[in-house]
Structure 1
Amino acid sequence: MKTFILFSFLLINSLIFAQSTATYNFTFTSSWNEIDHTSIPNNAHWSNLVGATHKTENYFIKTGEVASLGIKNVAELGDNTAFNNEVNNAISTNEAKQWLQSGFSPFAAISSANLNGIEVTEEYHLITLVSMIAPSPDWLISVNSLDLRNDTNTGWKTDFSIDVFAYDSGSDDGVNYDSTDVISSPPLGIFLINGLPFNGNKIGTLTVTLESVLGVTENSIFEGVNVFSNPTEGKITISNIRNIDLMSVEVYNVLGRLIKSEMNFMKNQQNLDINLSNINKGLYVLKLATNKGQILTKKVIVK
C-alpha cells in the first residue's frame, strides 16, 4: 500500500508540475498471421500492453542483456507484478515518470490495444512497452526506449508509426508455441527471433498520435480557475471558466485510464459541476483542454 501511495503521489505531481508536456495516444495493432509467422496457435493471444515513460535509454530492457525478473515474468507468464514493481522503484529514484497499462487482457491475436491521454515531459521523453506473445515459452513484443522528442531536440514528434517485432527473453530454451518449459541455464540475453516461427518479420505496428502540447507559458489562460471541494466525497466544481474555450474536461485514474469525460458546455458558462460519486476512492487527474490545445491538469482526491 505504501509503494502504491508513493507511486500515485509522484505520478500526480509529475503531471501537474512538468514544464513542457506533450499528450499522446498509442495504439498497438497486431499483424500476427500464418504467412509471415509460419502458423498461429488456436488460443493465440496477448497479455496486457504495459510499460513506462522514463528518461534513460535501455533502462528496463536491452537486446543482448539478461532480462530482469519483471520482463521474464511478462514473457513467460503474462504476469506484470514484478515489472510493475521495477517501474515503481524507478519512479521513486526519478528514473521513470509513470506506469502504463492497457485497459484489458488478454486481447486476441488479431486485435489492438490502446493507451490514451499519456502525458510525457521533456525529462521523461522515452517510452518502453512490452506484452507477452501467448502461448509461448518466453516470447514477447518490445518497444524499447522510443524517443518522443524530435531529432533536433527542439520539440515533440508528431504522428508516426513503427514496426513491432517478436523477441525471445532468453529465459527458456523452448522453440515452439507449445514447448515444454526448459529453463535456460545460464539465461541468455534478449534477442530478436529471426528464425521460426516469426522469421524476423514484424508482428504488429505501434501508431503514435500527438494529441496536444503544453508549453510553460500556456497555463496563464487558466489563471483563476479553481476546483472545489477537493478532497471530495462525490462532487467537484470547476469555477471561473467563462473566458476559456473549453473542448473537454476529463478525469483519469493513476494508470492513465479515462474515467469520465464532459464535452458539452454552455456559452459563457461560469462553473461546471462534475459528479464523481460513482468512482472508487483514490487519486485522480482532472484534465481541462481548450480548442487551441492548451491543457491544465489538477489532482483530485475522492474520499
Structure 2
Amino acid sequence: MKKITMLTLMLFSAYVFAQSEANYDISITTIWNATEHTSVPGNAHWSPLAGATHKNPNDILEFGVTAPLTNGIKNIAETGNTTNFMSEVNTMITSGNADQYLQQSFSPFAGNNSSATISGVSVNEDFPLITLVSMVAPSPDWFIAVNGENLRSGNPAVNNGWRDTFTMDVFVYDAGTDSGADYTSGNLITNPRTPITMVTGSPINGNRMATVTFTYNSSTLSNDVRNVFENIEVFPNPTTDKFTISNIRNTNLKRIEIYSLLGKLSKTIIVNNTTNNLEVDVSNLTSGIYLLKLKNEEDSSKTQKLIVR
C-alpha cells in the first residue's frame, strides 16, 4: 500500500509544475419529437450555439436563482439573439473570469432534429469550465444548456489531466422572464423575474432535448514553468495549522489559491513579493487533501497537493 501511495505522489509531482492545455471538438445533436415533448411546432429550430470557457462555476449561468438584470441569457432564451451575451462574456474576459467567447460559425441550425459543431476549442487549466446555450425556438423563454462543465479530469497521468471523449444529455430550462406555457404562447413578461429552472412539466415533460459530445483531440504540457518555480518549497506538508512557502523572491509570485479536491476555492492570498518566505495559516480548513496553486505575474502557475490534518 505504501508503494502505491508513493507512486501516486510521484505521478502527481511529474505534472504539477506545468501549465496544460487541451483541444476539443464540441458537437451537439438535438432531439425534438411528439412522443417525448408533446408536440413539435411548425418552424421548429434552434438559435446559434453560443458559450464561453471560464474560471468559476455559475459565473455565466446559475440554475435555481433569478437571472441577473443583464440580458444575455434572457435574449438568447426569448429571441435567440447572442449580441448581449457576447458582450457580457467579453466583459468577463476583461476582468479575468473568462477566456474566450464561443459560437458556431453558421446560424441557426435548423429543424427540430439537427446538429451543430464548434471545432478546435482550446481550453487551459485556468479556464477549464465550459458553458453552452441555445434557444428552443419557438418558445416563450426556453433554452438548452450545458452549465459550467469541467473538462479537467483530476488525473494528471492521463491526457495531462484532461477528460477523454464523453457524451452527456442536455435538458431544457426556463429563463424565468416570460410566463408563456407552450411553444407558441404570446409574449407574457414575467415581472419580477423568477428563478431559472428545468422545464419538467408539459410540453417538455423533463425529457432531454439534445446530447453533446466533447471529443478530446490532444493536449500540451508546457515545462517553462519549471524554471520559475523550481526553487520554491512548501513545508511542513502535511500540516496541522500553518505551512511556509520559501524562496519566493524573484518569482513574481502574486497569488496563492487553495482548492478542495472538488474544485471549490477555500482560501486566497495576495502575495507581497518583496518577502522570501511566506507563512500561510490553514487552521480554519477542515482536515483533508487540498490543491495548492501558486500564480505569478506572468500567469504561470504551479499546483501541488497539500494535506491538512
Scaled to the shorter chain, the TM-score interval is 0.5 to 0.7
SS in structure 2 opposite 1:115? Answer: strand
Separation (CA, whole Å) in 1 of partners of 2:59 and 2:74: 15
Separation (CA, whole Å) in 2 of partners of 1:107 and 1:34: 20
Deviation of 1:152 (Å): 4.7
Equivalent residue number for residue 180 of structure 1: 186
SS in structure 2 opposite 1:119? Answer: strand
SS in structure 1 opposite 2:218? Answer: strand
Whichever residue aligns with residue 99 of structure 1, its letter is: Y
1:53 aligns to 2:53 (yes or no): yes
Moved over 6 A (4+): none
Which runs of 5 or more residues in structure 2 are unaligned?
1-17, 225-309
Equivalent residue number for residue 171 of structure 1: 177
- Aligned-residue RMSD, C-alpha: 1.6
Whichever residue aligns with residue 73 of structure 2, its letter is: I
1:141 aligns to 2:144 (yes or no): yes
Separation (CA, whole Å) in 2 of partners of 1:110 and 1:193: 19
Equivalent residue number for residue 37 of structure 1: 37
1:126 aligns to 2:129 (yes or no): yes
Pick the aligned partner of 2:101 from 96, 99, 102: 99
Equivalent residue number for residue 22 of structure 1: 22
What pairs up with 1:88-237 in 2 under 5 angstroms?
88-108=90-110, 109-152=112-155, 155-217=161-223
Q: Deviations over 1:247-295 (max 9, x none)?
A: xxxxxxxxxxxxxxxxxxxxxxxxxxxxxxxxxxxxxxxxxxxxxxxxx
Separation (CA, whole Å) in 2 of partners of 1:42 and 1:135: 8
State the aligned residue count. 202
Shift of the 153–128 alpha-carbon distance from structure 1 to 2, 3 Å rule, reads farther
Q: Give the structure-2-normalised TM-score.
A: 0.63
Q: Deviations over 1:131-177 (max 9, x none)?
A: 01000100000100000001456600000000000110000000011
% identical equivalent positions: 48
Separation (CA, whole Å) in 2 of partners of 1:131 and 1:177: 15
What pairs up with 1:267-286 in 2 under 5 angstroms?
none
Separation (CA, whole Å) in 1 of partners of 2:77 and 2:65: 15
Separation (CA, whole Å) in 2 of partners of 1:66 and 1:129: 19
Whichever residue aligns with residue 78 of structure 1, its letter is: G
Whichever residue aligns with residue 168 of structure 2, its letter is: I
Separation (CA, whole Å) in 1 of partners of 2:123 and 2:204: 32
Separation (CA, whole Å) in 1 of partners of 2:47 and 2:165: 26
Separation (CA, whole Å) in 2 of partners of 1:141 and 1:26: 15
SS in structure 2 opposite 1:36? Answer: helix
Shift of the 20–38 alpha-carbon distance from structure 1 to 2, 3 Å rule, reads same
Greater alpha carbon shift after TM alignment, 198-207 vs 150-159: 150-159
Contact 2:92 2:98 survives alignment (8 Å): yes
Whichever residue aligns with residue 49 of structure 2, its letter is: L
Contact 2:154 2:162 survives alignment (8 Å): no
Separation (CA, whole Å) in 1 of partners of 2:178 and 2:154: 37
SS in structure 1 opposite 2:73? Answer: helix
Q: Give the structure-1-normalised TM-score.
A: 0.65
Deviation of 1:91 (Å): 0.1
Q: Which has the larger radius of gyration?
A: 2
Equivalent residue number for residue 291 of structure 1: none
